[in-house]
Amino acid sequence: MADERLGEDLLLNIDQVSRLTGVRKSTLRYWEKSFEEFLKPVRTESNRREYRLADVDVIEAIKRLIEEEYLTNTGVRIKLKEIISSTKKSPGRKRSQRL
């Protein structure tokens, strides 16, 4: 239970997220603008991006939808809306199963 709370509070900078997901930093910045309703990293006082684990889940989902399902940005938005609405209906799922 304490491990779950730690994961919720964990914040990663853009470099860490880039290395973790294999997505270039410039692409992460682009996706932040393109998918702003789904991807909103926290900003520090110095305006640096800090990503929650939920943001990393969204990034991995976007990457999968673009690279494996060959969706356009519009298709990704539609699919993310479907995924998020189904996740809200079944909140008991683990982080790795959400997106």
The token duo for 13 is 């900078």
The band of 3, judged by pLDDT with boundaries at 50, 70 and 90, is low
pLDDT mean across residues, the chain:
90
Architecture per CATH, 2-98: Orthogonal Bundle (1.10)
Q: Give the C-alpha distances (Å, rounded to integers) separating 60 from 20, 23, 66.
A: 10, 9, 10
User: In the chain, where are the structural domains located?
Assistant: 2-98
- Look up the pTM and report it: 0.84
User: For residue 52, what are its two tokens?
Assistant: 């929650």
pLDDT in tens, 14-48: 999 999 999 999 999 999 999 999 999 999 999 99
